């Protein structure tokens, strides 16, 4: 027999979709406090929120005659029409939270609007109103929720330990505290204050107050506005990285979200600045027109969809690159030798309950592991130690090329040979230990050599000109060579003072000392020049004896004239060979048959997933070529050669890291050096 369920039963069922554990209650109540315009919010929990949750705010409050209505299902003050869902600006809008909370808990509401002399107290048990009375109270709202799932004991069995549930709640309040730095948050667990933010509007100060990690003091602030988006927040220097994305926090219009689109933008911004498999620390807030974002995907509202992903990725990546080009983002020596803050360590040891809680938080364990890795000079980070050797260097040293400058040579900035077309000749000369390409551009060549031709400054080759934006399928040769909009860090202030271990060029400016890795710096110079030559050259193909036959996804067949063109520009000859079948009888000369077939398949998959394809085969080959062509560690460079290398590095689009992601230089501030010698505390 089919029948309509009673309100009490249906409320319990519906509550299961919204309230599944204590953190769900805290999320709904805290977001309501933010929507109410609160300037101070206090969250208090006991026993992981299973027995007691209190959220107090100084927001607008609720009118006494509306308190009972607020606990009815789908009752809300935030939207009134279906059209309002197309541009939701508040955190809450479904009108399900309070009804769901009251259905499975004992709930007490105390609220008072600012224009009222007295407030209202409402007590609800299991969805039934027990008491309603007037009460004296401050402006704002306090929600006290106790005995979670007291009337559905079976669901209590699925809750985790008190510590695990507390961790979830603290993580949630931490995220909200960061995205709303103008609100003063206080988090209390079992009577102990975990953190309190200042509410002064600074996201970086909020991050420091919440996570209490000394290394977060050096986070680089981000602020960029373009294409209808504004990106603000904090990101880490490349030297501060993690083995996973757990320390990346994303927000859209004040909402905590999980967004692969924003992750992609950050990854593109850090491209060539980090080793593969390492991830930065990120706190990014994206503001945009609410009408361009759909937040009505899931009841937890953490999933959002953008109407167009591409501008989001583009703006975020540009914001990250712009921030990493500032003086604050330059890698410091202290980044690798940072010590744990004693005050934080002692605080963690004070009480067993607090230690258990904080040890399970995301940041604490990973920070200690990271510092130990960096101190031990692990190969994952490829950190340069103070002895001047790299732990990853193996085998006998390569023969040193002849780098002595010719006294008659006056021009230090000659053009490099066409490395792609003279690759065989270059390798042959390298085996003899006398390759002209093993010298930095501008170093003098031997008399009588083919490249020994003085040229005037007007003949110097500049970096490739920036190209206009193109559709995703046209960015197949995406090498990130577009010049940065600005370079706040200036190489012009650096004065070369010498070289140590025939590997690290030393420089100084007014307040800092620098060590430049000559191999990493020259590798960056070579890579950008080789990429420029590749982009300017024709792409010849090699014909196959037996053609390759490939099947394309159904959705790509209708747009074949778009995606076939970039493959042909690379040197492929590809033609239709039946329904969704394509015949390839010519592949690029720089690819083997296996590489060519694998690249086309990856190219199709990337288009199918709406991603921007990249010519990884060519990129890897050019990185290898630039690495082999650059000067090596322990190769002696003369003074003019060092000057030439620094000049070339200054003109690079990304002078801060080599193509593998290693830093090209490290800075020691005057304060850090004085601290080494115990001159300052």
Q: What is the CATH number of the domain that holds 351?
A: 3.30.230.10
The two structure tokens encoding residue 530: 């080789």
Whether residue 183 has pLDDT greater than 60: yes
Which one of 375, 400, 429 terminates a domain? 375
**pLDDT at residue 568 in the model:** 78
pLDDT of 11 higher than 70: no
* Cα Rg of the chain, angstroms: 31
Residue 457 belongs to some domain of the structure: yes
Structure tokens at 141: 């709202």
Q: Are residues 288 and 169 in the same domain?
A: no
* 629-645 average pLDDT score: 90
pLDDT value for 191:
94
Model confidence pLDDT, tens digit, residues 401-419:
443 334 333 333 333 333 3
Distance of CA 252 to the CA centre of its chain: 15
Contact 390, 384 (CB under 8 A): yes
Residue 208 vs residue 556, higher pLDDT: 208
| Higher-pLDDT residue of 43, 455 | 43
Q: In this predicted structure, what is the pLDDT of residue 356?
A: 39
Q: How confident is the model at residue 110 (pLDDT cuts 50, 70, 90)?
A: very high
Look at the block and give the residue holding tokens 């000559």. 518
**Cβ(187)–Cβ(170) below 8 Å:** yes
Annotate 624-662 with b (16+ C-beta within 10 A) or e (fewer).
Answer: ebbbbbbbbbbbebeebbbbbbbbbbebbbbbbbbbbbb
d(CA 183, CA 186): 10
Residue 130 has pLDDT above 90, yes or no: yes
CATH number of residue 178's parent domain? 3.30.565.10
Most confidently modeled range among 237-251, 361-375, 429-443, 608-622: 237-251
Burial status of residue 140 (CB atoms within 10 A of its CB: 0-12, 13-18, 19 or more): buried
My answer on whether 30 and 108 are in the same domain is yes
Mean pLDDT of 489-511: 91
521: its two tokens:
């710096």
For the ranges 66-70, 72-76, 470-474, 519-523, the lowest mean pLDDT is seen at 470-474
**Positive or negative CA dihedral for 507, 631, 666, 528?**
positive
Tell me whether strands 282-287 and 248-252 are parallel, antiparallel or unpaired.
parallel
pLDDT value for 354: 39
pLDDT band with cut points at 50, 70 and 90 for residue 84:
low
Residue 108 lies in a domain: yes
Q: Is residue 328, in this structure, part of any structural domain at all?
A: yes
Helical packing angle, 639-650 and 518-536, nearest 10°: 50
Same domain, 642 and 674: yes
List of long-range contacts for 217-225, beta carbons under 8 Å, 24+ apart:
218/328, 218/332, 218/335, 219/281, 219/283, 220/323, 220/324, 220/326, 220/328, 220/329, 221/323, 221/328, 222/284, 222/319, 222/320, 222/322, 222/323, 223/319, 224/315, 224/318, 224/319, 224/322
pLDDT in tens, 131-158: 999 999 999 999 999 999 998 888 888 8
Give the Å distances, CA to CA, from 681 to 129, 371, 672: 62, 21, 10
Is the same domain home to 360 and 329?
yes
| pLDDT number for residue 352 | 36
Mean pLDDT within 534-545: 75
Q: Which of 237, 230, 315 is nearest to 281 (CA)?
A: 237
Ramachandran region, residue 564 (left: φ > 0; alpha: ψ -120 to 50; beta: rest): alpha
Identify the weakest region by mean pLDDT among 227-236, 289-298, 579-588, 604-613.
604-613
Tell me if 411 is assigned to some domain.
Answer: yes
Of residues 599 and 393, more confidence is placed in 599
Supply the range of the domain harboring residue 72: 7-194
Token pair of 114, please?
A: 């600012």
- Same structural domain for residues 33 and 76? yes
Q: What's the rounded Cα separation, in Å, for the pair 442 and 414? A: 5
Task: Give the least confident one: 153-167, 227-241, 480-494, 558-572.
Answer: 480-494
Q: How many alpha carbons fall within 13 Å on the CB side of residue 173?
A: 36
pLDDT value at 248 more than 90: yes
Mean pLDDT of 414-441: 40
> What is the mean predicted confidence (pLDDT) over 271-292?
89
Residue that is last in its domain, among 327, 346, 375: 375
Q: Residues 598, 600, 605, CA angle at the centre, nearest 5°? A: 95
Query: Do 363 and 391 belong together in one domain?
Result: no
Same domain assignment for residues 286 and 408: no
105-114, 281-290, 549-558: lowest mean pLDDT where? 549-558
The answer to whether residue 289 scores a pLDDT higher than 60 is yes
Residue, of 324 and 423, whose pLDDT is higher: 324
Task: Note whether 467 and 578 are same-domain residues.
Answer: yes
Distance CA 325, CA 323 (A): 5
Taking phi first (over 0 means left), then psi (-120 to 50 degrees means alpha), and beta for anything else, what does residue 262 get? alpha
Q: Are 273 and 237 in contact (CB under 8 A)?
A: no
Higher pLDDT, 447 or 642: 642
Same domain? For 263 and 398 the reply is no
Q: In this predicted structure, what is the pLDDT of residue 454?
A: 34
Total structural domains in the chain?
Answer: 3
**What percent of the chain lies above the pLDDT cut of 90?**
36
The token pair at 152 is 């559905």
C-alpha 470: how far from its chain's center? 24
Has residue 424 been placed in a domain?
yes
Sign of the CA dihedral with 145 first, then 146, 148, and 153 last: negative
DSSP readout, 550-575? Answer: EE--HHHHTTHHHHHHHHHHHT-EEE
Whether 206 contacts 178, CB under 8 Å: yes
Q: Is the pLDDT of residue 486 over 50?
A: no
Compute the distance between CA of residue 373 and CA of residue 366 in angstroms, rounded to an integer.
Answer: 10
- Check residue 406 and give its pLDDT: 40
Given this model, what pLDDT does residue 529 score?
80
Tell whether 380 is covered by a domain: no
- Read off the pLDDT of each residue in 197-221 and give the average, rounded to a whole number: 92
Query: What does the pLDDT read at residue 350?
Result: 37
Q: In the block, which residue shows the tokens 């294409």?
A: 227
pLDDT band at 386 (very low <50, low <70, confident <90, very high): very low
Asked if the model's pLDDT at residue 456 lies above 50, the reply is no
Contact assessment for residue 88 and residue 119, using Cβ atoms and an 8 Å cutoff: no
Same domain, 397 and 365: no
pLDDT value at 333 more than 60: yes
> Residue 535: what pLDDT?
67
| 566-590 average pLDDT score | 82
- The CA-CA-CA angle for residues 16, 18, 19, to 5°, reads 65
Do 506 and 560 lie in a common domain? Answer: yes
- Rounded Cα–Cα distance for residues 654 and 331 (Å): 14
Is residue 146 assigned to a domain?
yes
pLDDT of residue 428 exceeding 50, the answer is no
87 or 646: which leads in pLDDT:
646
Using CA atoms, how far apart are residues 488 and 114, in angstroms rounded to an integer? Answer: 48
Among candidate residues 334, 357, 375, the one where a domain is terminated: 375
* 344 or 176: which leads in pLDDT: 176
Q: What is the mean pLDDT of the chain?
A: 75
Average pLDDT estimate for 462-470: 41
Task: For 127-183, give the secondary structure using H, E and C.
Answer: CEEEEEEEECCCCEEEEEEECCCCCCHHHHCCCCCHHHHHHHHHHHHHHHHHHCCCC
What does the pLDDT read at residue 485? 47
Q: Is residue 200 part of a domain?
A: no
* pLDDT beyond 90 at 170: yes
- Sheet architecture: strand order including 255-257: 220-226, 229-235, 282-287, 248-252, 255-257
Q: Are residues 189 and 239 in the same domain?
A: no
pLDDT of residue 295: 75
Residue 298 has pLDDT above 70, yes or no: no
Query: Beta-carbon neighbour count of residue 99 at 10 Å?
Result: 21
> What is the DSSP code (8-state) at residue 87?
G
């Amino acid at each position: 027999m089919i029948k309509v369920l009673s309100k009490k039963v249906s409320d319990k069922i519906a509550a299961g979709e919204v309230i599944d554990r204590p953190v769900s209650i805290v999320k709904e109540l805290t977001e309501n406090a933010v929507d109410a315009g609160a300037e101070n919010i206090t969250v208090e929990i006991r026993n992981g929120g299973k027995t007691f949750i209190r959220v107090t705010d100084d927001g607008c409050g609720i009118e006494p005659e509306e308190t009972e209505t607020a606990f009815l299902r789908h009752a809300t003050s935030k939207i009134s029409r279906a059209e309002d869902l197309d541009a939701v600006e508040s955190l809450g809008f479904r009108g399900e939270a309070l009804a769901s909370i009251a259905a499975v808990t004992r709930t007490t509401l105390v609220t008072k609007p600012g224009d009222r002399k007295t407030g209202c107290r409402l007590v609800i048990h299991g969805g039934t109103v027990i008491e309603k009375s007037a009460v004296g109270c401050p402006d704002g709202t306090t929600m006290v929720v106790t005995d979670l799932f007291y009337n559905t004991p079976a669901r209590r069995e699925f809750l985790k330990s008190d510590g695990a549930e507390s961790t979830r709640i603290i993580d949630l309040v931490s995220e909200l505290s960061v995205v709303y730095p103008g609100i003063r948050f206080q988090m209390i667990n079992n009577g102990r204050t975990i953190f309190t933010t200042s509410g002064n509007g600074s996201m970086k100060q909020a991050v420091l107050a919440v996570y209490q990690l000394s290394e977060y003091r050096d986070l680089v602030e981000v602020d960029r506005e373009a294409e209808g988006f504004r990106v603000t927040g904090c990101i880490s220097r490349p030297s501060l990285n993690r083995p996973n994305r757990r320390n990346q926090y994303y927000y859209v219009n004040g909402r905590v979200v999980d967004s692969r689109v924003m992750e992609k933008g950050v990854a593109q911004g850090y491209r060539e600045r980090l080793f593969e498999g390492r991830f930065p620390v990120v706190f990014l807030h994206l503001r945009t027109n609410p009408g361009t974002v759909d937040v009505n995907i899931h009841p937890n509202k953490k999933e959002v969809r953008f109407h167009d992903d591409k501008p989001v990725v583009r703006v975020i990546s540009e914001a990250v690159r712009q921030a990493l080009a500032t003086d604050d983002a330059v890698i410091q020596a202290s980044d690798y030798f940072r010590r744990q803050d004693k005050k934080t360590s002692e605080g963690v040891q004070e009480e067993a309950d607090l230690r258990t809680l904080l040890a399970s938080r995301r940041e604490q364990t990973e920070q200690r592991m990271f510092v130990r890795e960096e101190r031990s000079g692990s190969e994952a980070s490829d950190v340069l130690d103070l002895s001047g050797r790299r732990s990853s260097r193996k085998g006998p040293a390569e023969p040193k090329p002849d780098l002595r400058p010719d006294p008659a040579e006056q021009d230090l900035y000659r053009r490099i040979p066409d490395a792609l077309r003279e690759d065989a000749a270059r390798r042959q000369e390298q085996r003899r230990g006398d390759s002209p390409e093993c010298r930095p551009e501008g170093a003098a060549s031997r008399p009588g050599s083919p490249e020994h031709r003085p040229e005037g400054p007007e003949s110097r080759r500049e970096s490739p000109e920036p190209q206009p934006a193109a559709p995703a399928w046209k960015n197949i040769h995406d090498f990130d060579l577009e010049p940065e909009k600005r370079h706040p860090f200036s190489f012009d202030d650096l004065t070369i003072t010498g070289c140590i271990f025939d590997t690290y060029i030393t420089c100084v400016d007014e307040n800092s000392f620098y060590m430049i890795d000559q191999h990493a710096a020259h590798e960056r110079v070579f890579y950008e020049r080789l990429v420029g030559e590749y982009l300017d050259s024709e792409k010849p193909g090699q014909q196959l004896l037996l053609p390759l036959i490939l099947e394309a996804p159904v959705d790509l067949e209708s747009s074949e004239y778009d995606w076939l063109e970039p493959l042909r520009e690379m040197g492929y000859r590809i033609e239709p060979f039946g329904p969704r079948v394509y015949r390839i009888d010519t592949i690029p000369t720089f690819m083997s048959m296996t590489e060519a077939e694998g690249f086309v398949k990856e190219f199709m998959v990337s288009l199918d997933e709406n991603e921007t394809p990249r010519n990884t085969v060519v990129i890897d080959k050019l990185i290898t070529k630039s690495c082999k062509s650059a000067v090596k560690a322990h190769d002696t460079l003369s003074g003019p050669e060092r000057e030439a290398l620094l000049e070339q590095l200054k003109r690079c689009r990304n002078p801060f890291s080599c193509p593998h992601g290693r830093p090209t230089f490290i800075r020691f501030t005057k304060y850090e050096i004085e601290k080494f010698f115990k001159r300052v505390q």
